[in-house]
Structure 1
Amino acid sequence: MKYIRYVSIAIFALALVLIALANRGTVTLRVLPDELAGFAALNPTYDLPLFVVIFGGILAGLVVGFVWEWIREAGERIAAARQARELASLRAEVARLKKRDTRESDEVLALLDEAS
């Protein structure tokens, strides 16, 4: 099973290297469209290899997806924390009740002990 994971990682890495080698051409990346550049005081442009733009877009999408999922699951994390606190308090109560001597406080058992 470990070897299957290593082979999968190697194939994925080889695919990324091949994509990078096939897309080495330089592209100009503009922050704003030309129509909006007149309103802005500056319009920076960057000359980058195409594979950097592709991998950057994939990375940005992953980050946005992870943040979106983290925000979406906030209610579930709050509910899990509440259940953990409730479980801890119930365990503490059970431990406290186990320590207490039930013979002295249980009236039925005390009556049975007196009868014998």
Structure 2
Amino acid sequence: MRFIRLMFVVLLAILLIAVALANRDMVTLNAFPANFGQYLGGTWSLNLPLFLVIFLAIAFGVVIGFVWEWLREAHIRRESRQRASQVAQLEREVSHLRDNHAGPRDDVLAIVDRPRSAPQGTGNPPRPIASPSPAPGTTLPSQPVR
């Protein structure tokens, strides 16, 4: 992909240099038609090489196109900002609800769910409430009973 991009840039540079060399003659660029500029004071005309006029016209067209698209897509950017703020508000609300409703609703459940702490001075770590293995006698038999 880099090679293709490099080849495109090289070909574009060769084309632009060829256009510049072929259009080196000086032309007069008037800002207003038929001596209208004299009423505003000043000459309002420039003598430039033709290739420079062509390149400036292309650059001006590109800038106008970018501005036009930016203005045309303003409502899309506004809606995106509004939706982003709505998403942030909903995420805050969900976080708030999780904080408020994450704890047990009953005092008895709060006592049962609270991890037991070892008596002071024994140095034993707190014992977990549930063990990873099932209690004896609670597993199903592996062979069907006849």
> Same fold per TM (> 0.5)?
yes
Q: CA deviation at 1:102?
A: 5.1
Alignment map for 1:57-72 (pairs within 5 Å): 57-72=57-72
Instruction: Name the structure 2 match of 1:104.
Output: 105
* CA distances 1:30-85 after superposition (whole Å, capped 9, x unpaired): 12112524533223221100000000001111111111111111111100000000
Gaps of 5+ in 1: 106-116
Alignment map for 1:1-116 (pairs within 5 Å): 1-100=1-100, 101=102, 103-104=104-105
**Which residue type is aligned with residue 69 of structure 2?**
E
- Secondary structure of the residue aligned to 1:55 is helix
Q: Normalising by structure 2, what TM-score? A: 0.66
Q: Normalising by structure 1, what TM-score? A: 0.81
Gaps of 5+ in 2: 107-146
**Which residue type is aligned with residue 44 of structure 2?**
P
Structure with more relative contact order (C-alpha pairs < 8 Å, separation 6 or more): 1
Q: Distance between the aligned counterparts of 2:38 and 2:26, measured in 1?
A: 25
CA RMSD of aligned residues (A): 1.6
Higher helix share: 1
Identity, % of aligned positions: 38
Q: Distance between the aligned counterparts of 1:46 and 1:38, measured in 2?
A: 14
Q: CA deviation at 1:86?
A: 0.3
- Secondary structure of the residue aligned to 1:104 is coil
**Which residue type is aligned with residue 30 of structure 2?**
R
Are the counterparts in 1 of residues 37 and 44 from structure 2 also a CA contact under 8 Å?
no
Larger Rg: 2
